[in-house]
Amino acid sequence: MKLQLALDLVNTEEAKQLVKEVESYIDIVEIGTPVVINEGLRAVTAIKEAFPHLQVLADLKVMDAAGYEVMKASEAGADIVTILGVAEDMTDGYRCACCW
Protein backbone atom coordinates (compact mmCIF):
# COMPACT_ATOMS: atom_id res chain seq x y z
CA MET A 1 0.00 0.00 0.00
CA LYS A 2 1.21 3.47 -0.85
CA LEU A 3 0.19 6.70 0.84
CA GLN A 4 -0.44 9.70 -1.40
CA LEU A 5 -0.46 13.36 -0.40
CA ALA A 6 -2.76 15.42 -2.65
CA LEU A 7 -1.86 19.08 -3.06
CA ASP A 8 -4.56 21.20 -4.67
CA LEU A 9 -4.81 24.64 -3.09
CA VAL A 10 -1.18 25.62 -2.56
CA ASN A 11 1.59 27.26 -4.52
CA THR A 12 4.91 25.56 -5.20
CA GLU A 13 6.68 26.92 -2.12
CA GLU A 14 3.78 25.95 0.16
CA ALA A 15 3.76 22.51 -1.47
CA LYS A 16 7.45 22.03 -0.69
CA GLN A 17 6.87 22.99 2.94
CA LEU A 18 3.97 20.57 3.31
CA VAL A 19 5.84 17.70 1.69
CA LYS A 20 8.87 18.34 3.90
CA GLU A 21 6.67 18.01 6.99
CA VAL A 22 5.33 14.60 5.99
CA GLU A 23 7.87 13.18 3.53
CA SER A 24 8.84 10.26 5.77
CA TYR A 25 5.21 9.09 5.86
CA ILE A 26 4.23 9.35 2.19
CA ASP A 27 5.13 7.58 -1.05
CA ILE A 28 3.45 9.74 -3.69
CA VAL A 29 2.99 13.50 -4.02
CA GLU A 30 0.03 14.48 -6.17
CA ILE A 31 0.37 17.84 -7.85
CA GLY A 32 -3.32 18.59 -8.27
CA THR A 33 -5.01 20.17 -11.24
CA PRO A 34 -5.42 23.59 -9.53
CA VAL A 35 -1.68 23.71 -8.79
CA VAL A 36 -0.82 22.84 -12.40
CA ILE A 37 -3.25 25.48 -13.65
CA ASN A 38 -1.78 28.16 -11.36
CA GLU A 39 1.89 27.16 -11.35
CA GLY A 40 2.34 25.12 -14.54
CA LEU A 41 4.40 21.96 -14.84
CA ARG A 42 7.19 23.87 -13.06
CA ALA A 43 5.47 22.73 -9.86
CA VAL A 44 5.99 19.09 -10.84
CA THR A 45 9.66 19.78 -11.60
CA ALA A 46 10.19 21.64 -8.33
CA ILE A 47 8.71 18.85 -6.22
CA LYS A 48 10.58 16.08 -8.06
CA GLU A 49 13.87 17.97 -7.72
CA ALA A 50 13.28 18.66 -4.02
CA PHE A 51 12.08 15.11 -3.24
CA PRO A 52 13.57 12.73 -5.82
CA HIS A 53 12.88 9.69 -3.64
CA LEU A 54 9.11 10.27 -3.82
CA GLN A 55 6.88 9.49 -6.78
CA VAL A 56 5.24 12.56 -8.27
CA LEU A 57 1.76 12.31 -9.76
CA ALA A 58 0.64 15.08 -12.11
CA ASP A 59 -3.16 15.19 -11.89
CA LEU A 60 -3.71 16.53 -15.39
CA LYS A 61 -6.87 14.57 -16.21
CA VAL A 62 -5.64 14.45 -19.80
CA MET A 63 -8.24 14.17 -22.54
CA ASP A 64 -6.98 15.84 -25.72
CA ALA A 65 -3.48 15.49 -27.16
CA ALA A 66 -2.81 12.81 -24.57
CA GLY A 67 0.51 11.64 -25.97
CA TYR A 68 1.89 15.18 -26.02
CA GLU A 69 0.59 16.18 -22.60
CA VAL A 70 1.82 13.02 -20.90
CA MET A 71 5.21 13.45 -22.59
CA LYS A 72 5.48 17.03 -21.27
CA ALA A 73 4.48 15.97 -17.75
CA SER A 74 7.02 13.15 -17.89
CA GLU A 75 9.72 15.57 -19.05
CA ALA A 76 8.82 17.78 -16.08
CA GLY A 77 9.48 14.87 -13.71
CA ALA A 78 6.10 13.22 -13.26
CA ASP A 79 6.26 9.52 -12.53
CA ILE A 80 2.50 9.14 -12.89
CA VAL A 81 -0.02 11.18 -14.91
CA THR A 82 -3.80 10.92 -14.67
CA ILE A 83 -5.59 10.33 -17.97
CA LEU A 84 -9.32 10.18 -18.58
CA GLY A 85 -10.47 6.70 -19.56
CA VAL A 86 -11.80 7.83 -22.93
CA ALA A 87 -8.57 9.55 -24.00
CA GLU A 88 -6.90 8.61 -27.26
CA ASP A 89 -4.61 5.59 -27.41
CA MET A 90 -1.56 7.80 -28.10
CA THR A 91 -0.62 7.40 -24.44
CA ASP A 92 1.08 4.06 -25.18
CA GLY A 93 4.37 3.79 -23.37
CA TYR A 94 3.29 6.09 -20.57
CA ARG A 95 1.92 5.01 -17.22
CA CYS A 96 -1.41 6.51 -16.22
CA ALA A 97 -2.72 6.62 -12.64
CA CYS A 98 -5.14 3.79 -13.37
CA CYS A 99 -2.20 1.43 -14.07
CA TRP A 100 -0.27 1.59 -10.83
Amino acid 90: pLDDT? 55
Query: Over the stretch 25-76, which tens digit does the pLDDT of each residue have?
Result: 999 999 999 999 999 999 999 999 999 999 999 999 988 788 889 899 999 9
CA atoms within 13 A on the CB side of 21: 7
Domains in the chain (CATH in brackets) are 4-99 (3.20.20.70)
Whether the pLDDT of residue 100 is over 50: the answer is no
SS (H, E, C) 29-96: EEECHHHHHHHCCHHHHHHHHHCCCCEEEEEEEECCCHHHHHHHHHHCCCCEEEECCCCCHHHCCCCE
Cα(61)–Cα(80) distance, integer angstroms: 11
Amino acid 9: pLDDT? 95
Residues 6+ apart with CB under 8 A from 64: 87, 88
Q: What is the pTM of this model?
A: 0.86
